[in-house]
A and B are shown apart, each in its own frame.
Chain A
Amino acid sequence: DIQMTQSPSSLSASVGDRVTITCRASQGIRNDLGWYQQKPGKAPKRLIYAASGLQSGVPSRFSGSGSGTEFTLTISSLQPEDFATYYCLQYYSYPRTFGQGTKLEIK
């Protein structure tokens, strides 16, 4: 199985801050990576696909980059609605595997 390691596991930030979350794959996965946002009691919502593709309807303050084994999700200017848990997902091979999550909290 491909292991996905996210960092940090939690993060405190303020509205307006720029935030970056990193995901590392245990082996190369091309750009077959997505980022998801999950709020309490809700299903995950796709933000980014193919490492850098912005999901339709997602604000442009969200961006993704990377290829191979290192990926990042950046939120350029945090808004109150962005405080949530974020997961990366590799879909390069089976079984599909998620990172352990990054909980983004208000400072």
Chain B
Amino acid sequence: QVQLQESGPGLLKPSQTLSLTCTVSGGSMSSGGYSWNWIRQHPGRGLEWIGNIHHSGSTYYNPSLKSRVTISVDTSKKQFSLSLSAVTAADTAIYFCAREPEMPAAGAFDIWGQGTRVTVSS
């Protein structure tokens, strides 16, 4: 079955760029039918959708983060990535990657990675 795994640095300094990668195993990214998403959760708080990338290459970002976010995909490596620039302490969170079927009838975010903790501190 399909599994997702996040990877990337756990500690950054303010103003640096956060770069995370999500690796897909047990299935194909190139067959289409899904978007690939990033979601974060601030400590002890709720869930915030960051953005996604579709098989077509189209991207959608949360307006609250749009100016700082880029999501890209490398289907040959079965990976998609998140770049978040100019981080501050407010970006300290657990970052999840998740798969979303493109057909609404199939719902959203059916498979999640385990999450990776990112701390921004000087």
Contacts and interface: CB of A to CB of B under 8 A. Distances in A.
Contacts of A46: 107, 109-110
Interface residues of A, number: 26
Contacts of B108: 32, 34, 49, 89, 91, 96
Interface stretch (B7-15, B19-27, B85-93, B112-120): B112-120
Contacts of A98: 46-49
Interface in B82-109: 96, 100, 104-109
A16 interface: no
A20 interface: no
A8 interface: no
Contact of B104 (A44, A91, A97): A91
Interface hub of A30, A43, A45, A49 (most chain B Cβ within 10 A): A43
Contacts of B37: 96
A94 B46 CA distance: 18
Q: Range of interface residues on chain B?
A: 20 to 34
Looking at chain A's contact residues, the main secondary structure is loop
A43 B114 contact: yes
B62 interface: yes
A100 B49 contact: no
Contacts of B104: 30, 32, 50, 91-92
Given A34-B109, A43-B112, A50-B107, 8 more contacts: A34-B108, A44-B112, A46-B110, A49-B108, A89-B47, A91-B109, A96-B49, A98-B49
17 contacts: A30-B104, A34-B109, A43-B115, A44-B47, A50-B105, A50-B106, A53-B107, A89-B109, A91-B104, A92-B104, A94-B60, A95-B63, A96-B37, A96-B108, A98-B47, A98-B49, A99-B46
